[in-house]
């Protein structure tokens, strides 16, 4: 569903992402793990079509910047940013119009109820707390029933109930055949859900591992993460 | 495109609806609306050239200078940060939606037209002043506004085109900046050379900026030529300017709309900058936003209790100033005040009151610039509320650094002006003290406005309320100074009367506003 080939991105002579390649298949939850500044957000923003880059990104076998590709993916940014003067419901209506969705109202209502936002339908974007804005952002991305979805640090600002709900959303998306890519640096938050882990450090993918491969190694994800991202260890190797 | 039009429509309607939810804010908006209508009516209806009729060449010179400065500053910022019509909500939701980049750009452009309104309103505020000094033609106000519209529509398009060319490499960015700076330097040099020959600021301004080359210079000259027709029959320069600008605006719009666009990355960086600037504005840091912080300022903090606030503020000022307390704001106030006096024609009756005129203009600038003092930053953070001291002490020490800075700026401005106009020492001192006291009036009027109205979402409305409030308070001082000058015919007593009133006012306002740091609720 998502194919990233030889992705590189340079900002002012700083190599933010360096020749990164990976794939996320339908019904697979891939996690982009890495310390701060590893290049995770740049990778996600490149896939979302917000940055220019070297390499190739295909979503549903079409170029990621094409209108067809955009119809297929959802994106939840690291920092939610809503329209200050649009109500929660109007945000969903805008998304429904922009993606030419039909009969979206029932799905929208279900999503709002699930994230305990059904009583906030008429609240303006500027009246919501950061956590609530994040919930609206998630609802907007889920409304389009995407074939591929990207979450950039999705748990930040969410309350425990919403975190629990989001984890079950991950699993439901997986069951529905959606390719899920989650970027985070908090290992605990995705421990139970991931199928494939892509560990990034200094712009490169330093480890690409499936859950089965990790089980065979008999080590914890945290231990492996610390080993491969430890700059001292890297220098010695 | 339907989805984007839905966005624009809902944004506008909900913005109006939310104003109705807060009666106090609504009253504020109605007041502003009435004020604007009054200005618009006055702009069209008032007779022109009643006070004096200055030469049209000076008007043309001023227009050319204004548009040169506007284009230079806005396009240079465009090279640095790009120009963005967008907010992060657009980036996150519209850019990632299955919509063509060209449509999104068009949506941004329509939004920008809303911003144009702001510039038009700013222009309206200047029209009565211009009409008093120049003989406007009946179509004068309309062509002046046409020029403002042409500018506000053209500069984002040019900015975006320049940015898309320069964002490719640092070399291009450097080259573009160099071209801009050298062109600006050339204009300044030409002006200075002319000034050395004429030794008359007004004459040189007409020579340099009212030159045929300037009239027909692409974009800047064309815009200036449209505005210049306010004081004359439309001439060839006007027609060339209007046609040129129409071609530029439509041509560039079409070019950008037809191009295979990949501008999201450029806009992303620019939008992040815009968001940071808006956040700074909300927190009252707009005057220091983007300023470099000097790290080599040492010396530690002194004072205990609320006094520590003063020491901290002084250190912050020193870190963001160019030299001692001299910062961007000081330079703007000082230069514009002196420039104002130089541009104003010397008339026999007014020469005796040069210092008063500089003081009046500098106070006007101070009122605009000192839109939000350092205390407003403190209100957004919890520390000041936690300090174990009385609210009086906290407000005094939190605002003391502003008075010290105003003293520094005032001393610099009026010592220079005093030497320039050959004024007496007591007059210079009276000016400096008046400047400091008025600075305090504006500051505590703002604190009191915040106490009375609480946190107003629109900073523009807040500043407007404060300005009206300050103006009404200052009126008795103006009356006092008029009486003083009639009675004594002395500039010193005239300024002294204003200063004394400002002192009384500042102390009174301080007493009423001190409770703001009692708790967070008293400021929100």
**Same domain, residue pair B113 and B184:** yes
Burial degree of A151 (CB within 10 A; 0-12, 13-18, 19+): buried
B348 — pLDDT class (breaks 50, 70, 90): very low
Last residue of a domain, one of B265, B282, B299: B282
CB–CB contact A98 B262 (8 Å): no
Q: How far apart are CA B346 and CA B327, in angstroms?
A: 30
How many residues are listed for chain A in this entry?
237
Q: Could you tell me the sign of the dihedral formed by the alpha carbons of B222, B224, B227, B229, in that order? A: negative
Domain assignment present for residue B8? The answer is: no
Q: Which residues of A touch B279 (CB under 8 A)?
A: none
Nearest CA in chain A to B167: A12
Domain assignment present for residue B389? The answer is: yes
Whether B368 and B439 have beta carbons less than 8 Å apart is answered as no
Q: Which residues of B touch A137 (CB under 8 A)?
A: 92
pLDDT tens digits along B87-129: 889 988 999 999 888 788 778 777 766 666 666 777 777 788 7
The CA-based dihedral angle spanning residues B374, B380, B381, B384, taken in that order and rounded to the nearest 10 degrees: 60
CB–CB contact A90 B14 (8 Å): yes
Angle at B137 between CA B133 and CA B141, to 5 degrees: 80
Residue A77 in contact with partner chain B when CB distance is under 8 A? yes
Residue B168 in contact with partner chain A when CB distance is under 8 A? no
Q: Are strands A148-152 and A179-184 parallel, antiparallel or unpaired?
A: parallel
Q: How far apart are CA B127 and CA B147, in angstroms?
A: 13
B500 or B317, greater pLDDT: B500
Pick from A49, A97, A124: CB nearest B18: A124
Residue A60 in contact with partner chain B when CB distance is under 8 A? no
The confidence score (pLDDT) of residue B255 equals: 83
Domain assignment present for residue B292? The answer is: no
CB–CB contact B98 A99 (8 Å): yes
Q: How many domains does chain B have?
A: 2
Distances in Å between the Cα of A159 and the Cα atoms of A124, A131, A153, A155, A166 are 20, 7, 14, 8, 10
Residue B87 in contact with partner chain A when CB distance is under 8 A? yes
Residue A116 in contact with partner chain B when CB distance is under 8 A? no
Per-chain mean pLDDT for chain B: 80
Residue B96 in contact with partner chain A when CB distance is under 8 A? yes
Full residue range of the structural domain in which residue B416 is found: 307-523
**Same domain, residue pair B246 and B343:** no
Instruction: Look at residues A42, A22, A136, A162 and name the one whose alpha carbon lies nearest to residue A80.
Output: A136
Pick from A49, A83, A97: CB nearest B89: A83
**Same domain, residue pair B246 and B330:** no
Residue A221 in contact with partner chain B when CB distance is under 8 A? no
The confidence score (pLDDT) of residue A108 equals: 96
The confidence score (pLDDT) of residue A7 equals: 95
Instruction: Look at residues A18, A6, A2 and name the one whose alpha carbon lies nearest to residue A63.
Output: A2
List the beta strands (DSSP E) in chain A.
Answer: 2-11, 14-24, 29-33, 54-59, 62-63, 73-76, 148-152, 179-184, 196-201, 204-210
CB–CB contact B92 A126 (8 Å): no
Domain assignment present for residue B166? The answer is: yes
The confidence score (pLDDT) of residue B460 equals: 63
**Same domain, residue pair B324 and B460:** yes
Query: Which residues does B16 contact at the CB level (< 8 Å), separation at least 6?
Result: none
Distance to chain A for B69, nearest Cα, Å? 30
**Same domain, residue pair B263 and B322:** no
**Same domain, residue pair B271 and B365:** no
Domain assignment present for residue B376? The answer is: yes
Domain assignment present for residue B420? The answer is: yes
CA A167 to chain centre: 13
**Same domain, residue pair B178 and B323:** no
Q: Which residues of B touch A70 (CB under 8 A)?
A: 96-99
**Among B25-29, B87-91, B105-109, B281-285, where is mean pLDDT lowest?**
B281-285
Domain assignment present for residue B388? The answer is: yes
**Same domain, residue pair B151 and B90:** yes
Distance to chain B for A75, nearest Cα, Å? 7
**Same domain, residue pair B514 and B416:** yes
The confidence score (pLDDT) of residue A149 equals: 95
Instruction: Look at residues B121, B128, B132, B131 and name the one whose alpha carbon lies nearest to residue B51.
Output: B132
**Same domain, residue pair B380 and B413:** yes
Percent of chain B with pLDDT over 90: 11
Q: Is the pLDDT of residue B14 over 90?
A: no
- Ramachandran sector of residue A177 (left: φ over 0; alpha: ψ -120 to 50; beta: rest): left
Tokens read off for B219: 């974009």
Tokens read off for B422: 């050959």
CB–CB contact A67 B99 (8 Å): yes
**Same domain, residue pair B201 and B72:** yes
CB–CB contact B7 A94 (8 Å): yes
Residue B167 in contact with partner chain A when CB distance is under 8 A? no
Residue B170 in contact with partner chain A when CB distance is under 8 A? yes
* Residue A207: φ, ψ to 5°: -155, 135
pLDDT tens digits in sequence order for chain A, 237 residues long: 899 999 999 887 789 999 999 999 999 999 999 988 899 999 999 999 888 899 999 999 999 988 899 999 999 998 888 888 889 999 999 999 999 999 999 999 999 999 999 999 999 888 898 889 999 999 999 999 999 999 998 888 788 888 888 898 999 999 999 999 999 888 888 888 899 999 999 999 999 999 889 888 888 888 888 888 875 444 333
The confidence score (pLDDT) of residue B447 equals: 84
Last residue of a domain, one of B282, B316, B334: B282
The average pLDDT across B16-35 equals 76
Q: How far apart are CA B433 and CA B452, in angstroms?
A: 28
The confidence score (pLDDT) of residue B370 equals: 63
The confidence score (pLDDT) of residue A236 equals: 36
The average pLDDT across B339-343 equals 70
Q: How far apart are CA B132 and CA A116, in angstroms?
A: 61
The confidence score (pLDDT) of residue B455 equals: 63
Whether B362 and B437 have beta carbons less than 8 Å apart is answered as no
Highest average pLDDT, of B90-104, B158-172, B247-261, comes from B90-104
**Same domain, residue pair B405 and B512:** yes
pLDDT tens digits along B395-450: 888 889 889 988 988 998 888 888 877 888 999 999 999 999 999 998 888 888 77
Domain assignment present for residue B10? The answer is: no
pLDDT tens digits along B293-311: 666 666 666 777 778 888 8
Say what the ipTM of the complex is.
0.80
Q: Is the pLDDT of residue B167 over 90?
A: no
Q: Which residue has the tokens 């899920």?
A: A180
Whether B104 and B19 have beta carbons less than 8 Å apart is answered as no
CB–CB contact B93 A94 (8 Å): yes
Domains identified in chain A and CATH numbers: 2-83+148-236 (3.40.50.300)
């Amino acid at each position: 569903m998502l194919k990233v080939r030889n992705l590189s991105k340079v900002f002012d002579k700083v190599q933010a992402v360096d020749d990164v390649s990976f794939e996320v298949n339908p019904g697979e939850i891939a996690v982009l793990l890495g310390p701060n500044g590893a290049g995770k957000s740049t990778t996600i923003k490149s896939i979302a079509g917000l940055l220019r880059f070297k390499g190739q990104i295909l979503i549903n076998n079409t170029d990621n910047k094409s209108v067809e590709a955009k119809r297929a993916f959802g994106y939840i940014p690291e920092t939610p940013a809503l329209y200050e003067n649009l109500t929660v419901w109007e945000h969903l209506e805008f998304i429904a119009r922009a993606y030419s969705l039909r009969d979206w109202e029932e799905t929208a209502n279900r999503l709002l109820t699930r994230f305990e936002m059904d009583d906030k339908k008429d609240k303006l974007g500027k009246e919501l707390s950061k956590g609530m804005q994040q919930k609206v952002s998630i609802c907007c991305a889920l409304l389009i029933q995407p074939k591929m979805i990207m979450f950039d640090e999705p748990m930040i600002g969410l309350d425990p109930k919403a975190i629990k709900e989001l984890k079950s959303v991950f699993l439901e998306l997986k069951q529905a055949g959606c390719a899920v890519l989650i970027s985070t640096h908090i290992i605990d938050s995705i421990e139970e859900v991931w199928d494939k882990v892509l560990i990034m450090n200094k712009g490169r993918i330093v480890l690409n591992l499936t859950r089965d491969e990790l089980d065979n190694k008999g080590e914890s994800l945290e231990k492996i993460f610390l080993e491969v991202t430890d700059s001292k260890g890297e220098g010695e190797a | 495109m339907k989805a984007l039009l839905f966005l624009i429509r809902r944004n506008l309607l909900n913005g109006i609806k939310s104003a109705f939810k807060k009666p106090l804010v609504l009253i504020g908006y109605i007041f502003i609306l009435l004020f604007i209508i009054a200005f618009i009516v006055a702009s069209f209806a008032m007779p022109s050239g009643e006070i004096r009729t200055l030469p049209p060449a000076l008007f043309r010179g001023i227009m050319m200078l204004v548009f040169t400065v506007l284009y230079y500053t806005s396009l240079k910022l465009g090279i640095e940060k790009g120009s963005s019509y967008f907010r992060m909500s657009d980036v996150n939701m519209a850019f990632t939606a299955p919509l063509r980049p060209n449509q999104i750009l068009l949506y941004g452009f329509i939004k920008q037209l809303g911003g144009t309104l702001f510039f038009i309103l700013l222009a309206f505020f200047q029209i009565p002043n211009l009409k008093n000094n120049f003989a406007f033609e009946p179509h004068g106000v309309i062509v002046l506004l046409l020029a403002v519209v042409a500018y506000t529509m053209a500069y984002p398009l040019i900015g975006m085109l320049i940015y898309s060319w320069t964002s490719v490499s640092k070399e291009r960015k450097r080259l573009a900046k160099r071209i801009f700076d050298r062109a600006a330097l050339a204009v300044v040099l030409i002006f200075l050379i002319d000034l050395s020959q004429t030794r008359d600021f007004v004459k040189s301004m007409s020579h340099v900026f009212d030159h045929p080359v300037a009239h027909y210079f692409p974009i800047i000259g064309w815009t200036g030529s449209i505005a210049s027709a306010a004081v004359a029959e439309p001439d060839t320069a006007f027609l060339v300017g209007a046609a040129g600008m129409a071609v530029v605006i439509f041509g560039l719009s079409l070019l950008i709309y037809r191009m295979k666009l990949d501008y999201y990355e450029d806009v992303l960086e620019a939008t992040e900058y815009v968001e940071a600037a808006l956040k700074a504005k909300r927190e009252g840091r707009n005057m220091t936003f983007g300023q470099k912080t000097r790290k080599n300022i040492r010396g530690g903090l002194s004072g205990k209790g609320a006094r520590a606030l003063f020491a901290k503020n002084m250190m912050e000022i020193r870190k963001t100033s160019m030299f001692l307390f001299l910062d961007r704001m000081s330079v703007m106030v000082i230069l514009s005040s002196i420039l104002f006096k130089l541009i104003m024609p010397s008339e026999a009756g007014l020469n005796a009151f040069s210092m008063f005129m500089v003081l009046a203009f500098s106070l006007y600038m101070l009122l605009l610039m000192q839109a939000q003092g350092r205390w407003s930053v403190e209100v957004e953070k919890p520390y000041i509320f936690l300090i174990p001291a009385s609210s009086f002490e906290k407000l005094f020490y939190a605002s003391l650094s502003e008075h010290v800075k105003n003293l520094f700026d005032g001393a610099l401005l009026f010592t220079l002006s005093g030497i320039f106009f050959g004024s007496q020492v007591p007059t210079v001192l009276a000016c400096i003290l008046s400047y400091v006291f008025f600075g305090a009036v504006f500051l505590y009027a703002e604190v009191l406005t915040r106490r009375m109205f609480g946190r107003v979402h629109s900073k523009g409305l807040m500043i407007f309320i404060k300005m009206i409030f300050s103006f009404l308070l200052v009126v008795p001082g103006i009356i006092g100074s008029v009486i003083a000058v009639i009675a004594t015919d002395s500039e010193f007593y005239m300024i002294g009367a204003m200063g004394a009133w400002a002192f009384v006012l500042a102390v009174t306002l301080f007493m009423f506003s001190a409770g703001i740091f009692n708790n967070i609720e008293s400021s929100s």
